[in-house]
Amino acid sequence: MSEPTARTVALADVPADRRRGGAIRVLLGPRTVGSTSGFLGVASLEPGERIAEHYHPYSEEFLYVAAGRITVDLDDRPTPLHAGEGLYVPVNVRHRLRNTGDIPAEVVFHLGPLAPRPELGHVDTEVATQRSPS
């Protein structure tokens, strides 16, 4: 078995996953770099967009707002975050991200540890809805 090597992944090289709302890109994870302890990505949300409510039965989630303003609903409790602020989401806490500002928001996220299998790592609790295209 070979030793892991450092790898660089550009945001532009990762296709956006829009199934849960917004544009979610996992930059550093098992599929992109072979990580074994967690993954890191960026969620982009236009004003009014949201990422549908979900929870992680195995992972803690760390959020950092790099640009814009969002509200994270934690078990239905709104928690506003501005650029330069971070939020810790414990295991099994339902959460949804909403861009409540008037400019695009960029949120860096990290989850760890990984679930035993990828399909067990994320549990949707509502259906994602998208804004109408302009």
pLDDT of residue 130: 55
Domain 14-115 carries which CATH code? 2.60.120.10
Domain edges within the chain: 14-115
pTM of the model: 0.91
Question: Mean pLDDT over all residues of the chain?
Answer: 93
Using one digit for the tens of pLDDT, what is the confidence trace for 96-134?
999 999 999 999 999 999 999 989 999 999 988 754 333
Q: Could you tell me the CA-to-CA distances from 9 to 13, 46, 109, 111 in Å, in that order?
A: 7, 23, 15, 17
Distance in angstroms (rounded) separating the CA atoms of residues 16 and 25: 5
- pLDDT on residue 92: 98
